[in-house]
Amino acid sequence: MSLDAASRAAIDAVKARTAAIAPSAFGRVAVLMGGTSAEREVSLDSGRNVLDALRARGVDAFAVDGIAALREQLAKSGVDRVFNILHGNRGGGEDGIVQGLLEAHGVPYTGPGVLGSALTMDKIRTKQVWMAEGLPTARFVRIAPGAELAAAVHALGLPVFVKPSTEGSSVGVFRIASETDLPSAIAFARTYPGELLAEQMITGGEYTVGILGGVALPSVRIVPPGDWYDYHAKYVSDDTQYHCPGLEGEDEAAIRALALAGFRAAGCSGWGRVDVMRHADGRFLLMEINTAPGMTSHSLVPKAARVLGLGFEDLCLAILAQTLEGPRA
Which letter does DSSP use for residue 108 in this model? -
The answer to whether residues 147 and 195 belong to one domain is yes
Share of the chain above pLDDT 90, in %: 78
Q: What is the DSSP string of 176-206?
A: ESSGGGHHHHHHHHHH--S-EEEEE---S-E
Of 200, 230, 248, which marks where a domain is finished?
200
- The confidence score (pLDDT) of residue 35 equals 93
* Choice among 7, 39, 111, 272 that is catalytic: 39
Is 46 assigned a catalytic role?
no
Say which of 94, 95, 122, 288 is annotated catalytic: 288
Q: Is 273 a catalytic residue?
A: yes
Q: Which of 116, 294, 299, 314 is catalytic?
A: 294
pLDDT band at residue 1, thresholds of 50, 70 and 90?
very low
* pLDDT number for residue 169: 54
Q: How far apart are CA 241 and CA 226, in angstroms?
A: 11
Q: Are residues 253 and 131 in the same domain?
A: yes
Q: What amino acid is encoded at 236 in this protein?
A: V
What's the domain range around 172?
A: 140-200
Which DSSP string do the residues of 237-248 spell out, in sequence order?
-S--EEESS-S-
Give CA–CA dist 276/209, Å, rounded: 8
**Residues 228 and 285 grouped into a single domain:** yes
Is a pLDDT exceeding 90 seen at residue 8?
A: no
Q: Which of 169, 219, 269, 299 is catalytic?
A: 169
Are residues 277 and 131 both part of a single domain?
Answer: yes
CATH number at residue 170: 3.30.1490.20
Has residue 110 been placed in a domain? no
Q: Binning pLDDT at 50, 70 and 90, where does residue 265 land?
A: very high
Mean of pLDDT values over 29-35: 97
The answer on 210 and 125 residing in a single domain is: yes
pLDDT of residue 204: 86
Alpha-helix residue ranges (DSSP H) falling in the chain: 3-19, 40-56, 67-75, 97-105, 114-121, 123-132, 149-156, 182-191, 231-235, 249-265, 300-307, 312-321
Active site residue 27: no
- The number of angstroms, rounded, from the C-alpha of 28 to the middle of its chain's C-alpha atoms is 25
Residue 149 is predicted with a pLDDT of 94
Both 154 and 250 in one domain: the answer is no
Whether residues 176 and 269 fall in one domain: no
Least confident of 4-8, 67-71, 253-257, 286-290: 4-8
Number of compact structural domains in the chain: 2
Q: Could you report the per-residue pLDDT of 222-242, keeping only the tens digit for each?
A: 998 766 655 555 556 577 899
Residue 253 lies in a domain: yes
> Could you tell me if residue 246 is inside a domain?
yes
Give me the pLDDT at residue 326, please: 72
Contact by Cβ (8 Å): 82, 107: yes
**Catalytic annotation, pick one of 275, 278, 299, 314:** 275
**302 and 176 in one domain?**
no
pLDDT for residue 329 is more than 60: no
Marked catalytic residue, from 273, 278, 299, 314: 273
Within-domain flag for 319 = no
pLDDT tens, position by position, 197-220:
999 999 889 999 999 988 999 999
Q: What is the arithmetic mean of pLDDT over 80-90? A: 93
288 catalytic? Reply is yes
275 belongs to a structural domain = yes
Q: How far apart are the C-alpha atoms of 69 and 66, rounded to whole Å?
A: 6
Residues 132 and 229 in one domain: yes
- Residue 240 within a domain: yes
* CATH value at residue 266: 3.30.470.20
Domain-located, residue 109: no
89 is catalytic: no
Q: Is 146 left (phi over 0), alpha (psi -120 to 50) or beta?
A: left
Are 130 and 235 in the same domain? yes
Helices 149-156, 182-191: inter-axial angle, 10-degree rounding: 130
DSSP labels, 43-90: HHHHHHHHHHHHHHTT-EEEEEESHHHHHHHHHTT--SEEEE---SSS
pLDDT band at 2 (very low <50, low <70, confident <90, very high): low
Let me know: does 142 contact 160? Beta carbons within 8 Å: no
- Condensed to tens digits (0 to 9), the pLDDT of residues 88-100 reads 888 888 999 999 9
Q: How confident is the model at residue 310 (pLDDT cuts 50, 70, 90)?
A: very high
Cα distances from 306 to residues 45, 148, 169, 170, 302, in angstroms, run: 19, 45, 22, 25, 6
Query: Is 208 contained in some domain?
Result: yes
The per-residue pLDDT for 252 is 96
Residue 77 has pLDDT above 90, yes or no: no
Question: What pLDDT was estimated at residue 208?
Answer: 97
- For 101-155, how does the pLDDT look when each residue is reduced to its tens digit (9 = 90+)? 999 999 999 999 999 999 999 999 999 999 999 999 999 999 999 899 999 999 9
| Residues 292, 214 within the same domain | yes
| Least confident residue range of 1-15, 123-137, 166-180, 219-233 | 219-233
Which residue among 34, 235, 267, 270 is the active-site one?
235
Tell whether 183 and 129 lie within a shared domain.
no
